[in-house]
Structure 1
Amino acid sequence: MGGYRLLGRLGEGGQGVVYLGRDGDGGLVTVKVLRGGLDAGQRARSRFVKEADAARKVAGRHTARVLDADVTGDRPYIVSEFVEGPPLQRVVAEDGPLPAPQLRKVALRTAGALAAIHRAGIVHRDFKPANVVLGPDGAKVIDFGIARAADALARTEPLTTSPIGTPGYMAPEQIEDEQVGPPADVFAWGAAMVFAATGRPPFGTGPSAAVMRRVTSRPPDLGDMDGPLRDLAARCLDKNPAARPTAPQLVRALREGQGPAPKPRPTRIPRYRWRMMLALAVVIIAGFALGVLF
């Protein structure tokens, strides 16, 4: 397809099918093909084009780079960097919560990815453990399938018959079909970090309607999560979007919390005090000497 050899299917979603492919130089890539091809409706093609445009704008070390795209042909596709490694969802499901050192690294890298996404004027809108791949170089965020430009989201969107996203990681404003911006991604990040730390999403599992009802009306269950990351996740899961930290603020907080404590600087005695102390010492020695002589 477009000069890329498809080797096998990696997964699929409501919008398209993702294949493992090989480019002309023999390198591995992922190729996402719009489901339905020519038979896909205009709305589906429009969303696919927006995904390609959104992903191209993001430049960050912790996101999968878009390498190529053709959204005008009979079978629209997007080619992205292949990140070799398991998704966070599978790792936690199979091996349990992440150890504290790995959890801190994943938290920092994914917060950095969101900061890069938001800096490009994009809202991911589907950040979740399944879209975080733990590659050999660390965690990377993938899949901009329902991403939208922040300025477009700021305008009135046509209401949909159902919210777009993944229950359990959707912000209350996303569920209630209100204006969605970067704070929604921050909410999803907080939920994903709770899952990574405890093995359970903060609003439980079950039917989508039940999960979304808990998101909008109940406090999150942070389980045995502790330390600064617990406090940070709790702030991210605030029902009020304005009360959540921004992605750059998350990055700063995580860096400050992980860095070694600064060494105390040695106390410097001002020069004038040195002179006073020296003069006092001379007086004391002189007095002692006089006492010996007399």
Structure 2
Amino acid sequence: MKSNNTLFTIEKIKPLFSNIDIKEQIGRGGQKVVFKGEHKKYGSVALKLICPSNKSEQDRALRELLISSQLDASYFAKIYEYNNLKLEGKDIIYVIEEFIVGESLRERINKNKPNLLPKDEVKVIIESLLKALILTESKHLVHRDIKPENIMISDKRVVLIDFGIARHLDMVSLTETFAVFGPMTPGYAAPEQIKNEKRKISIRTDLFSLGILFYELLTGENPFVCSTVPETLNKTLNYSPIPLINKGFDHSISDFINACLEKSPHRRPASAEIALKLFYKINWEEL
């Protein structure tokens, strides 16, 4: 069986997309390859090619596209087209979406080390993500993978990307009920994801991840990440981070993050809109 290294070459895919001047490969991971190109109608685009290995992977990829295409706001990459095609006898899913000019939040963090990001920038990032989550919540969507790698910082925009493990709460879950773990990124996943408690997945799951991200941006440390995955998961389930008020931060910001990082989902803010209202009560002058 051919690998995606030989299947997804520019020479092989160019004839399939006559409207795109494909420039270069810009990403590869799992069953996905991403190219940058210039579309005759849409301008700069990202062309994603996905080669699912089974029906379950195909269903999850199509669900990601269905979910992402419902989100029409500056906080998300615009999806122009997606469909199925055949490439050398293999079933392929292609996506043409907006190319986000900028860098990931992880790249921004690493580039700025050993310094932390300015508080004004942190404020814009978290506020933008909360507004993005208000929109996903209105569509009954849970992203389930909020982390620096999935946040793009562009010109005057914060963009939440990669809905690859997103959950639509009105649709049947694609995760096996008896799976030990749910889809997640260790270190950013909420306890209910780790324990695969599907009925507890909600916007509060994303708020937990946002709380971790906020803590990391303010301190330079992820409060749960350890040297091994089992240690990270155990710490997420059983350890409460040192409150930021004990690190010299104002109680308003400490209270916000503590609320997001509650182990029980029902103890977290009930909605992204409520979380945003709490966020607006933070005293930034004391940071």
- TM-score tier by shorter-chain length is 0.7 to 0.9
Which sits farther off after the overlay, 80-89 or 9-18?
Answer: 9-18
Asked if the contact 1:194–1:222 (Cα under 8 Å) also holds between the matched residues in 2, the reply is no
Cα distance change on mapping 1:10 and 1:199 into 2, 3 Å: farther
> Is 1:230 aligned to 2:254, yes or no?
yes
The CA deviation at 1:104 is 0.6
Provide TM-score, normalisation by structure 1: 0.79
- Structure index of larger Rg: 1
Which sits farther off after the overlay, 188-197 or 6-15?
Answer: 6-15
The CA deviation at 1:15 is 4.4
CA–CA distance in structure 2, aligned partners of residues 142 and 22 of structure 1: 20
Partner amino acid, structure 2, of 1:42: K
**Long gaps (5+) in structure 1:** 261-294
**Corresponding residue for 1:57?**
70
**Corresponding residue for 2:55?**
42
**Long gaps (5+) in structure 2:** 1-15
CA–CA distance in structure 1, aligned partners of residues 37 and 213 of structure 2: 29
Where does 1:127-166 land on structure 2 (aligned, <5 Å)? 127-152=146-171, 158-160=177-179, 162-166=181-185
CA–CA distance in structure 2, aligned partners of residues 122 and 168 of structure 1: 21
Where does 1:112-123 land on structure 2 (aligned, <5 Å)? 112-123=131-142
> Is 1:107 aligned to 2:126, yes or no?
yes
What SS does the aligned partner of 1:183 have? helix
**Corresponding residue for 1:187?**
208
Which sits farther off after the overlay, 9-18 or 162-171?
Answer: 9-18
The CA deviation at 1:23 is 1.2
What SS does the aligned partner of 2:158 have? strand
What SS does the aligned partner of 2:77 have? coil
CA–CA distance in structure 1, aligned partners of residues 229 and 186 of structure 2: 6
The CA deviation at 1:82 is 1.6
Where does 1:250-289 land on structure 2 (aligned, <5 Å)? 250-257=275-282
**Corresponding residue for 1:95?**
112
The CA deviation at 1:101 is 0.9
Where does 1:10-25 land on structure 2 (aligned, <5 Å)? 10-25=26-41
Asked if the contact 1:30–1:81 (Cα under 8 Å) also holds between the matched residues in 2, the reply is yes
When you count strand as a share of all residues, which structure comes out higher? 2
**Corresponding residue for 2:101?**
84
CA–CA distance in structure 2, aligned partners of residues 6 and 220 of structure 1: 46
Asked if the contact 2:60–2:174 (Cα under 8 Å) also holds between the matched residues in 1, the reply is no
When you count helix as a share of all residues, which structure comes out higher? 1
CA deviation digits over 1:228-287, x for unaligned, max 9?
333211110110101111211122233354799xxxxxxxxxxxxxxxxxxxxxxxxxxx
CA–CA distance in structure 2, aligned partners of residues 95 and 222 of structure 1: 24
Which sits farther off after the overlay, 171-180 or 195-204?
Answer: 195-204
**Corresponding residue for 1:203?**
224
Provide TM-score, normalisation by structure 2: 0.81
CA deviation digits over 1:140-198, x for unaligned, max 9?
11111111211236899533354311100000000011122221111111111111222
Give the share of equivalent positions with the same residue, in percent: 26
CA deviation digits over 1:101-132, x for unaligned, max 9?
11111110011111111111111111111111
Which sits farther off after the overlay, 139-148 or 93-102?
Answer: 93-102
Asked if the contact 2:194–2:233 (Cα under 8 Å) also holds between the matched residues in 1, the reply is yes
Work out the number of aligned pairs and report it.
257
The CA deviation at 1:225 is 7.1
What SS does the aligned partner of 1:116 have? helix
Which sits farther off after the overlay, 250-259 or 69-78?
Answer: 250-259
**Corresponding residue for 1:281?**
none
